[in-house]
Chains A and B, each alone.
Chain A
């Protein structure tokens, strides 16, 4: 049907390679440029080769507190990852049967993916602003001293920030679960049930090992999407910015390759996480032997 030797085959391979180059080329350019000497600029030619800009980054030279932003992003990423896995697997199990409100929940999931991120970010920011106002009002009217003395805002990384990111990662998790259960062979768990296993035991011993590779996929989405999330986080992180938010600020102010060095570091983190996930996925897949 599609002969491997035909000209169109090679033309297609050529265009596909071009696309891959288009995808990765720019990133590798900045990785290359981040290893410049101290006199290097934002463009080619390469001015010597050194790790100067990484050392500069490490020292925190001329850049806002990247270290703590980095730490915050990692912590939040892990938190979002765990919650995304647990909540979407649980919801995925629920969705195997029709339940009250399942249609609404499904359409909400889809809607959450396509609602403009800035709108959601604004909404969450408004909500927490109102919560603040109400809290302060309660504080003054009931004369609660800790509110009056120390309460600033409920807006923050682990409240509004976490929630806003979950509205972005959870839908991916649930859609992956849908894809998994649409292709899931029910006979294994039916067999377990027939043999007298409890629902929890059936889940733990049969379903979980079978869906484990996909759970790694959900975890990957959960972490990486949170780690790089920007639009939904933009209004709701409170005082502590995550790495992408800092990065975005830096694009307008920094004119040295230090920003490329930072880019190289973040990309390295992402690639490491992806590699670990893919490795883990393949390992589980092989272990399963199906």
Chain B
């Protein structure tokens, strides 16, 4: 028993190294980003200051709609559109896959094996998974070959690759897993007897899905949605590679500003992006308690 008392103060301390990493590589960097977004800069250095110029510049011409929409609004609109479309497809596919795994696969071994099959690509390179669409979707790719040989189209289709289409395709390809895992987790917790009871009381398959399974999966759906939406919000690599460097994104703006050493400007963009992302998450977490779900 004395040992118990001895360890009590030290157990929490075990989290210290972990906490230090986040203090040094998460809290301080993000705080600095906020601070530096109010700094001034010239070609070669950043200058401590307290100005709103960086923010003003982002929203320049944004509130007079004479010349159409400003670049910032256009970029965010395009990002939101990607979020919404990607979210829709990852949710549908992710839900289906999780549903299949938890209710149609009966043995636990098979469930784990098939789940692993869905997970393995997550542990491989995203860039490789993106460029692997080139031989399929390119001008001379398999899909165009198929279109031409069957006479569906008379010229190669250009919208297949380096387009908004290929960006969404890559997002769905890369991130459906983020939906599968939490939804599968929620579904595995559903007491099967509830579903049986519903069937015994005369509910049909759709009613069971709509009135029992979906409501009980809500936490999983919300967590998955948060993951997918935030990852698309801040993306610049997938949009860059799959959009042929032609489609704008906030991440890309930050990236370009950094390469020109316009760090305070990049910081201001980062702060706005972070704020919007947190706002979306905050709205979504209003619906559930994440901690209960692990």
Query: Would you call B152 an interface residue if the criterion is a C-beta within 8 Å of the partner chain's C-beta atoms?
Result: no
Q: Are B26 and A26 within 8 A (Cβ)?
A: no
Type the 1/0 row for A62-99, where 1 means its CB is closer than 8 Å to any CB of B: 00000000000000000000000011101101111101
Instruction: Check if A118 sits within 8 Å of B15, measured CB to CB.
Output: no
The total of chain A residues at the interface (CB under 8 A) is 99
B177 to chain A minimum Cβ distance, whole angstroms, is 9
- Type the 1/0 row for A23-48, where 1 means its CB is closer than 8 Å to any CB of B: 11111011001000000011110000
Candidates A43, A114, A251; contact of B230 at CB < 8 Å: A114
**Chain A residues whose C-beta falls within 8 Å of the C-beta of B258 in the assembled complex:** 122, 125, 235
Q: Which residues of A contact B263 (CB under 8 A)?
A: 122, 126, 129
Contact of B131 among A87, A122, A251 (CB under 8 A): A251
Chain A residues within an 8 Å CB radius of B14? 90-91, 93-94
Any A CB within 8 A of the CB of B12 = yes
The answer to whether B273 and A230 touch across the interface, beta carbons within 8 angstroms, is no
Chain B positions 1 through 20: 1 when the CB is less than 8 Å from some CB of chain A, otherwise 0: 00110110001111101110
Contact across chains for B25 and A93 when beta carbons are under 8 A apart: no
Chain A residues within an 8 Å CB radius of B6: 199
**Total chain B interface residues with beta-carbon distance under 8 A:** 92
Name A3-58 residues within 8 Å CB distance of B. 4, 8-9, 12-13, 15-16, 19-20, 22-27, 29-30, 33, 41-44
B residues near A (Cβ < 8 Å) are 3-4, 6-7, 11-15, 17-19, 21-22, 24-30, 32-33, 36, 46, 93, 96-97, 100, 103-104, 106, 114, 116-118, 120-121, 123-136, 138-142, 145, 173, 176, 192, 195-196, 199, 205, 226-227, 230-231, 233-237, 241, 245, 250-251, 254-255, 258, 263, 266-267, 270, 273-274, 277, 281, 290-291, 294
**Chain A to chain B contacts (Cβ below 8 Å), 7 pairs:** A26-B129, A26-B136, A29-B136, A87-B18, A105-B18, A123-B32, A167-B21
